[in-house]
Chains A and B, each alone.
Chain A
């Protein structure tokens, strides 16, 4: 069993897992820092990926972006293993735990019994850490849970080898060497540049332009069926923004925390002002969610154009914000 592992609560599974792994191996990095350095903040509207008939809306980069992004930017020595047979995957996990390794796993959410029933959907890119085993039960540090949990062998096996979109195929990962402290200024600049570039990309589906396109789609939602479909459509957007472990406001507060930390670490004060501005934008996202939820429940009349208008205003705010972030990054003394 890895010596003296300390669990930490996080808002997002992937950044939480990486923060805990790095801290355990001697490089204390907060969840926000892990998220920001991996340039994980984003926005994407992907109509060709449908989940229960609703288009995918995401406020971050695709799954594994945090893990792979940090592996690259921090030059980590990590090993990733997938398995064809569940029994081989479980044996390998047991062997690693027996040698005292802290192991990260990709799993489905649906088959993890410790999750609240209402949150158990078939989402296959959940991440958690296993820090030990007690006979037939695994000792698990799930970043989105407040405390450590236990999970029976059969359940964990099922969760690791769930099928479908983003099937984990038993993926496990661990560090093979201790990470070294990086040059925060260099990494910070690069991470900010990447995020600004993605958010301002001249592509129709991502970043600020993705928001505008989504606003147009919302405006066109048919109301002929009494608005049932329109309600599900906007409910899905709000779920991706608030319920799926984003730390609130579609990861905007989490990223603001990253900017503050980077400012404190490097002494570049301009990032503090940007953080305050992003918190305000996060509040606008929360207002968008509240307005949508009131319409879903019928407390306010359903009005897709009103929601589209809010989303357009957010797109304008974020365009200005990421332009300023880009400028601040360029003005940062080398």
Chain B
């Protein structure tokens, strides 16, 4: 890649930041060049983010319909999955999955709600509802 060919396409995934790439200058030397992004990067990053957002949206539908607890929605919103939430809370995976049931979640002691809220970086009140 030549220095003048370094893409400067203003990726929204970079939110105004510039990332460093390496390219060949006119003197033939490879050097660091700040880039405003390449569409290819934006496409694959948005693809990954949208996949996570889709999971969160589906969980939100389930929570509103009363088929799942808000916990599942908040898990996906924090870009986590059951494995990661289980590791972050120190709870068994089957327990996390059980807490996706609205009935079980409604009876959850405050200590466990606090543990989930802490791992997800939100307040206990926020954990109990979907906005």
Contact = CB atoms under 8 A, between A and B. Distances in A.
Contacts of B38: 242
A249 interface: yes
A238 B46 CA distance: 12
Interface in A24-58: 31-32, 52
Interface in B72-131: 78-81, 83-84, 87-88, 119, 121
B1 interface: yes
A279 B83 CA distance: 40
Contacts of B49: 118
Interface size class of A (residues with CB under 8 A): 35 or more
B41 interface: yes
Given A253-B1, A257-B30, A296 B47 contact: yes
B51 A52 contact: yes
A158 B121 contact: yes
Given A110-B79, A243-B41, A275-B30, A144 B19 contact: yes
What band does the interface of chain B fall in when counting residues whose beta carbon is under 8 Å from A?
A: 35 or more
Interface string B43-60: 111111101100000000
B21 interface: yes
Interface in A231-257: 231-232, 235-236, 238-239, 242-243, 245, 247-249, 253-254, 256-257
A289 B44 CA distance: 10
B29 A122 contact: no
A260 B16 CA distance: 31
B19 A293 contact: no
Contacts of A239: 41, 44-45, 48
A289 B1 CA distance: 14
A291 to B, nearest CB: 9
B46 A118 contact: yes
B47 A119 contact: no
B4 interface: no
Interface string B20-37: 111110001111101000
Contact of A118 (B13, B18, B22): B13
A216 interface: no
A300 interface: no
B67 interface: no
A146 B45 CA distance: 20
A296 B43 contact: yes
Given A116-B15, A121-B79, A283-B1, A236 B30 contact: no
B40 interface: yes
Name, among A118, A276, A286, the residue most crowded by chain B CB atoms within 10 Å (CB to CB): A118
A146 B18 contact: yes
Contacts of B13: 116, 118-119
Given A122-B80, A253-B22, 10 more contacts: A117-B15, A236-B48, A242-B40, A248-B23, A253-B21, A254-B22, A260-B29, A279-B24, A286-B40, A289-B40
Interface of B: 1, 12-24, 28-32, 34, 38-41, 43-49, 51-52, 78-81, 83-84, 87-88, 119, 121
Top 10 A-B residue pairs of the complex, sorted by shortest distance between their CB atoms: A116-B15, A253-B22, A257-B30, A118-B13, A11-B20, A248-B21, A293-B40, A163-B88, A247-B22, A293-B43
